[in-house]
């Protein structure tokens, strides 16, 4: 609708584009004449306002920044404000100008974004009229379109220039292999060789294989199997994938809390419900079960009661369905059930998913000769999108010892996918196939094809660099490698998230439950609405519906501090510290009482679970007897604690096993590291320094070694691929060992306050690990290496700037378009830096070193010359590239390239100290702040809100003093310029800091926020902040920012280079 209205305004009915634009041009000229006549008669102040506003609107104001130009709306607002003054009310010109503005028709430029509403067909129609008028004088203009099948749409050859569009799925017209961003595939010529002719709009269909290119485009965008790294995933609408999703969801549900569906029941539900309708609701399934007489029961009114169904992602319906099968059956009838057509049906779904363009899809359907014309037409209307996460081979081509595939087991048993794929028979096959795939390819090609984020790919590369560096330093390969995958934490307000989660639970309470507990529901909903912060106790209070899960009594919200937050399963059985393993209770339950409590409170737990307040996992924890765990329950707890399910960790383990076949790769879960940090009071404080990353790595290694040495019989749980070598008799012995194992939380001996009964050997090992970890945590120095990088992204910031502001530093819009005429891109991105020695022509001036940036537009060419060892040509190209940044005197000086390529983040050491060059204009500190262990622990408690305000005030003031005592080691903060050194300014700011409130200050001006900003500004990165007083006024601006027009270095400066681990270091002295 908007486009139609915009087109109507631009090109009124009955007029051509040219006529409309001529009228718009004349109207603009008339309106500008009236405006100029008006401002000449206006007051001097208004004259200047109007003239300046028009100059900025027209882009004619010299030396103005692009962001200072006015849009039409902003310009109209300025003019309107002047015209509405009382003194201009009686002037006709002012009223005429206001009328034009109100009609939104004032000084409309020729080139505006609304022009995009003009369809190319209208532009082409106007071109055809011009050709018809001129063909008698210039016959070549009327040359017919060589693309005969498009002559109805574009009759002339010139028309094709307007009508032709390169489909987005073709991409750059460069062959795959010549450009890593290209995937286009050419058609072969008559001899079967690739046709190398230039591609034009008139030969596009003869030169480009559109179907193959579209398939390559989609395949580049889709994933590889999560488990079989070499296999492509199935379309999300695939018949096989949808069958898998439905069966997996059916095998996951529980009836009335605990009972699973039998195999016969599941198969009946699949045939009678899922094969008949696209949406299966919980209520429909429950009624079907009652109709089948699988469940009997009556409510208070003697009506058949419906069973409770749990375990679904959406508590009201199944998220999976057989929608594709139902679509095909609607069109094809009984042929959709013919096994002979199954492969063709899967191809139809894949074509619909792969080819976004309708004509390619239709051409593909013509390959299936058994389809009728009407059926092809209807199938062409099916459009599917998105891809699954698993492959056909994983689901149907891997078999267990009885020859059953994963799909067979999903149909013939009530096990879900995770239970099946975790079986050792399948894990062994997965590892063998992944090892074969990884061993046949380079690291780069494997990572390029892997369905991993760029961040994860970078992390894997860095991990391999570190391992190679350690191996080089030690002289031999390690015996074990411990790995851990840390998911990137997204910043969020935990309290707000908890409140939203609880509100969602209370809004979804069943009406029967609300009717039964009307008063309490109202009371709790009101209390939840009024709650400002939701801590652990308050969260459990609302989740438990204000009820003690052990005693059954009511909890008092005003006395929550009197209650205990108690783990359900004791910590010697699990390291689960989440809310799902905690209850808020007036009294802890002894082991001897557990059976009695479970019997008495089972109905309460069932009611809360049916209402959706008690999660299924939490209810299962409550129903388990810690003293009488079955073999299956003990095995489940061990698997949950030890098995790493992360795709990235599994991929890395497979990669390492292939690269280092003699090494055991130990997978360590992040929960184990968190457990040790909690137990040993070693909180993460990344605000202070980078040592936490090193400490995590140390703990990962320590945990891996402890598990490996202390529990050799359990290595199959945490050593990647170890299940392959576990014979049956050994497996039976391991089960017996697990049955006798007292502490299923294997790290419990490391953190328990009272030492559990373990072997002397394990006790010594646990004590040694704890003692050494404390020593490492208290280190004042660790090797920190931040990788220097080259920027290989976009050439420039895409903001275009007018030719009126063009300088010699601008980048042309295209080759051959001078920036002084056409404008250009003002902000170039820098690929890397270079260091020149400048020897002034005036001999009395000493030589110096200058750091300059190499723009991305030049960096690729210079890289090619350096890679080809053409040093002299590279240096000439560098000197030419940096000319725009040199002063007039420097251009006349003798220039020598000292270091042709310097990466961003390069470590520099001068007589004044060390720092890093983040660019040729910015320095950043490389020093690490060291605080005492006690201060770190107290800061953690204060910032986490675990202290009262008075204690937190004292901690922050002591920490401020300790920070000031460390500033002597921060080179950049000790250097004074036009202002006192940042360190001196921070000391002077202490008095202001003491006057700030603790929290919730004006504009973030409180002690907690400001101190956090101080720590982050001292951190070895590019962060900086402005420190304010309690009114929010800036006192120290840009604290932590060290910028200059260009970095100059003294002769004798050293550039330090480090290996990935920092174990190998070297330097280059610059002269």
Separation of alpha carbons 947 and 534, rounded Å: 16
Percent of the chain exceeding pLDDT 70 equals 92
- pTM of the predicted model as reported, rounded to 2 decimal places: 0.75
Confidence class for position 726, pLDDT limits 50, 70, 90: very low
Confidence class for position 820, pLDDT limits 50, 70, 90: confident
Separation of alpha carbons 1040 and 1018, rounded Å: 6
Tokens at 113, concatenated: 């974004």
Q: Give the pLDDT mean for 148-159.
A: 87
Q: Is the dihedral of CA 906, 910, 915, 921 positive or negative?
A: negative
Torsion angle (degrees, nearest 10) of CA 608, 612, 616, 619: -10
Q: Give the pLDDT mean for 239-254.
A: 94
Which DSSP category does 372 fall into? -
Encode pLDDT of 78-111 as tens digits: 999 998 888 888 888 999 999 999 888 899 888 7
Please report the pLDDT score of residue 826 as a whole number.
Answer: 78
Other CB atoms within 10 Å distance of the CB of residue 968: 11
Q: Which residue has the tokens 């390239």?
A: 897
Partners of residue 947 on adjacent β-strands: none
Helices (H), 59-187: 72-83, 92-102, 120-134, 159-163
Please report the pLDDT score of residue 727 as a whole number.
Answer: 46
Helices (H), 972-1021: 982-988, 990-994, 1007-1018
Q: What are phi and psi of 759, to 5 degrees?
A: -65, 155
Please report the pLDDT score of residue 348 as a whole number.
Answer: 92
Confidence class for position 1013, pLDDT limits 50, 70, 90: very high
Separation of alpha carbons 105 and 70, rounded Å: 16
Nearest to 651 by CA among 180, 223, 236, 234: 223
Separation of alpha carbons 445 and 438, rounded Å: 10
Please report the pLDDT score of residue 864 as a whole number.
Answer: 92
Encode pLDDT of 526-583 as tens digits: 999 888 778 889 999 999 999 999 998 999 998 888 899 999 988 888 888 888 899 9
More confident residue, 325 or 67: 325
pLDDT, the chain, mean: 85
Q: Is the dihedral of CA 369, 370, 376, 381 positive or negative?
A: negative
Q: Is the dihedral of CA 702, 708, 709, 713 positive or negative?
A: positive
Structural domain boundaries in the chain? 2-118, 239-416, 494-626, 800-905, 924-1043
Separation of alpha carbons 796 and 293, rounded Å: 70
- What DSSP line would sit under 834-898, residue for residue? EEEEEE-SSTTSPPEEEEEEEEHHHHHHHHHHHHTT-HHHHHHHHHHHTGGGS-HHHHTSEEEEE
Separation of alpha carbons 380 and 357, rounded Å: 10
Encode pLDDT of 574-629 as tens digits: 888 888 899 999 887 776 677 888 888 888 988 888 888 888 888 888 888 888 88
The two beta strands, 848-855 and 894-902, are: unpaired
Separation of alpha carbons 882 and 880, rounded Å: 6
- Note the Cα 863 to chain centre separation in Å: 30
Encode pLDDT of 463-503 as tens digits: 888 999 998 888 888 899 999 887 655 444 466 788 888 99
The residues near 841 (Cβ < 8 Å, ≥ 6 apart) are: 889, 892, 893, 894
Is residue 835's pLDDT more than 90? yes
Tokens at 371, concatenated: 């389809």
More confident residue, 296 or 49: 49
Separation of alpha carbons 19 and 11, rounded Å: 8
Angle at 614 between CA 613 and CA 616, to 5 degrees: 130
Encode pLDDT of 858-889 as tens digits: 999 999 999 999 999 999 999 999 998 888 88
Angle at 708 between CA 706 and CA 712, to 5 degrees: 125
Please report the pLDDT score of residue 728 as a whole number.
Answer: 44
Please report the pLDDT score of residue 583 as a whole number.
Answer: 92
Separation of alpha carbons 705 and 698, rounded Å: 11
Please report the pLDDT score of residue 299 as a whole number.
Answer: 46
Q: Give the pLDDT mean for 212-234.
A: 80
Side-chain half-sphere of 320: how many Cα atoms within 13 Å?
A: 23
Q: Give the pLDDT mean for 51-58.
A: 88
More confident residue, 30 or 363: 30
Confidence class for position 816, pLDDT limits 50, 70, 90: confident
Encode pLDDT of 411-428 as tens digits: 999 999 988 988 888 988
Side-chain half-sphere of 601: how many Cα atoms within 13 Å?
A: 21
Burial letters for 309-344: b for 16+ Cβ neighbours within 10 Å, e otherwise? bbbbeeeebbebbbebbbbbbebbeebbeeeebeee
Tokens at 31, concatenated: 């309106």
């Amino acid at each position: 609708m908007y486009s139609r209205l915009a087109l109507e305004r631009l090109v009124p009915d009955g007029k051509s584009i040219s006529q409309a634009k001529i009228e718009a041009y004349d109207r603009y000229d008339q309106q500008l004449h009236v405006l100029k006549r008006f401002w000449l008669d206006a007051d001097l102040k208004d004259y200047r306002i109007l003239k300046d506003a028009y100059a900025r609107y027209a882009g004619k104001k010299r030396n103005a920044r692009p962001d200072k130009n006015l849009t039409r709306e902003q310009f109209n607002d300025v003019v309107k404000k002047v015209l509405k003054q009382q003194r201009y009310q009686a002037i006709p010109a002012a009223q005429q100008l206001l009328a034009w503005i109100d009609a939104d028709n004032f000084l409309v430029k020729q080139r505006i974004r609304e022009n995009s509403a003009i369809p190319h067909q209208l532009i082409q129609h106007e071109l055809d009229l011009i050709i018809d008028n001129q063909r008698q004088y210039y016959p070549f203009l009327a040359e017919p379109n060589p693309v005969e099948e498009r002559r109805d749409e574009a009759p002339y050859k010139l028309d094709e220039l307007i009508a032709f569009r390169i489909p987005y799925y073709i991409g750059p017209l460069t062959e795959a292999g010549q450009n890593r961003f290209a995937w286009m595939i050419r058609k072969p010529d008559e001899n079967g060789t690739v046709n190398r002719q230039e591609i034009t709009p008139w030969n596009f269909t003869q030169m480009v294989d559109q179907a193959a290119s579209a398939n390559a485009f989609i395949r580049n965008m889709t994933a590889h199997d999560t488990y079989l790294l070499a296999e492509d995933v199935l379309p999300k609408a695939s018949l096989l994938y949808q069958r898998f999703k439905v069966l997996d969801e059916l095998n996951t549900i529980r009836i009335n809390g605990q009972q699973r569906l039998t195999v016969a029941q599941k198969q009946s539900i699949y045939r009678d419900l899922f094969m008949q309708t696209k949406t299966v609701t919980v209520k429909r399934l429950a009624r079907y079960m009652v109709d089948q007489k699988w469940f009997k029961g009556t409510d208070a009114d003697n009506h058949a009661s419906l069973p409770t169904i749990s375990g679904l992602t959406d508590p009201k319906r199944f998220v999976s369905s057989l929608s594709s099968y139902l679509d095909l059956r609607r069109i094809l009838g009984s042929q959709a059930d013919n096994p002979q057509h199954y492969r063709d049906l899967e191809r139809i779904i894949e074509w619909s998913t792969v080819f976004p363009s309708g004509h390619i899809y239709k051409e593909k359907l013509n390959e299936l000769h058994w389809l009728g014309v009407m059926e092809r037409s209807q199938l062409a209307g099916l459009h599917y999108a998105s891809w699954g996460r698993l492959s056909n081979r994983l689901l149907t081509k891997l078999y267990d010892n009885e020859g059953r595939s994963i799909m067979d087991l999903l149909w013939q048993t009530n096990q879900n996918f995770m239970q099946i794929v975790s079986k050792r028979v399948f894990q062994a096959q997965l590892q063998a196939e992944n090892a074969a795939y990884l061993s046949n390819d380079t690291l780069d090609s494997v990572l390029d094809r892997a369905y991993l984020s760029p961040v994860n790919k970078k992390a894997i590369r860095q991990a391999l660099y570190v391992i190679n560096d350690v191996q080089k330093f030690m002289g031999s390969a390690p015996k074990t490698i411990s790995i851990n995958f840390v998911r990137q934490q997204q910043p969020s307000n935990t309290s707000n998230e908890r409140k939203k989660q609880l509100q969602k639970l209370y809004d979804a309470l069943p009406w029967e439950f609300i009717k039964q507990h009307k008063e309490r529901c109202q009371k709790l909903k009101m209390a939840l609405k009024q709650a400002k912060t939701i801590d652990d106790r308050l969260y459990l209070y609302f989740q438990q519906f204000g009820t003690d899960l052990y005693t059954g009594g009511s909890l008092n919200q005003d006395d929550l501090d009197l209650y205990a937050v108690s783990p359900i399963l004791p910590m010697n059985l699990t390291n689960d510290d989440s809310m799902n393993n905690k209850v808020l209770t007036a009294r802890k339950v002894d082991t001897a009482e557990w059976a009695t409590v479970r019997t008495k409170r089972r109905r309460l737990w069932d009611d809360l679970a049916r209402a959706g307040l008690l999660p299924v996992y939490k209810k299962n924890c409550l129903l388990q007897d810690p003293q009488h765990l079955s073999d299956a329950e003990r095995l489940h707890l061990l698997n949950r604690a030890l098995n790493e399910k992360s795709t990235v960790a599994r991929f890395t383990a497979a990669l390492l096993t292939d690269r280092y076949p003699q090494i055991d790769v130990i997978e360590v879960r992040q929960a184990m590291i968190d457990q040790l940090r909690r137990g040993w009071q070693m909180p993460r404080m990344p605000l202070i320094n980078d040592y936490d990353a090193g400490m995590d790595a140390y703990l990962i290694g320590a945990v891996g070694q402890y598990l490996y040495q202390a529990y050799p019989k359990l290595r199959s749980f945490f050593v990647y691929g170890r299940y392959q070598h576990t014979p049956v008799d050994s497996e039976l012995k391991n089960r017996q060992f697990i049955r006798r194992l007292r502490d299923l939380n294997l790290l419990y001996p490391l953190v328990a306050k009272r030492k559990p009964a373990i072997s002397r050997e394990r006790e010594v090992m646990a004590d040694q690990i704890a003692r050494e970890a404390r020593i490492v945590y208290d280190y004042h120095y660790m090797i920190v290496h931040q990788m220097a990088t080259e920027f290989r992204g976009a050439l420039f910031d895409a903001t275009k700037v007018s030719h009126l502001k063009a300088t010699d530093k601008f980048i042309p819009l295209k080759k051959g378009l001078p920036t002084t005429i056409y404008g250009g891109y003002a902000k170039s991105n820098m690929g890397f830096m270079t260091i020149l020695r400048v020897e002034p022509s005036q001999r009395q001036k000493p030589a110096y070193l200058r750091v300059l940036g190499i723009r991305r537009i030049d960096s690729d060419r210079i890289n090619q010359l350096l890679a080809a060892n053409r040093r002299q040509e590279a240096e000439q190209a560098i000197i030419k590239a940096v000319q725009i940044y040199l002063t007039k005197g420097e251009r006349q000086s003798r220039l020598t390239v000292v270091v042709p390529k310097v990466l961003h983040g390069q470590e520099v050491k001068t007589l004044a100290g060390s720092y890093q060059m983040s660019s040729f204009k910015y320095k950043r500190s490389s020093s690490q702040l060291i605080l005492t262990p006690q201060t770190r622990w107290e800061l953690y408690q204060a910032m986490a809100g675990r202290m009262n305000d008075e204690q937190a005030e004292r901690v922050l003031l002591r920490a401020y003093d300790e920070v000031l005592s460390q500033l002597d080691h921060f080179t950049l903060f000790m250097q004074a310029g036009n202002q006192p050194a940042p360190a001196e300014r921070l000391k002077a700011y202490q008095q202001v800091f003491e006057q700030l409130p603790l929290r919730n200050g004006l504009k973030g001006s409180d002690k907690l926020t400001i101190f956090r900003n101080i720590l982050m500004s001292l951190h070895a990165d590019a962060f900086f902040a402005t420190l304010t007083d309690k009114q929010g006024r800036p006192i120290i601006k840009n604290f932590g920012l060290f910028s200059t027009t260009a970095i100059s270095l003294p002769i004798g400066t050293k550039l330090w280079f480090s290996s990935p681990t920092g174990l190998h270091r070297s330097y280059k002295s610059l002269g």
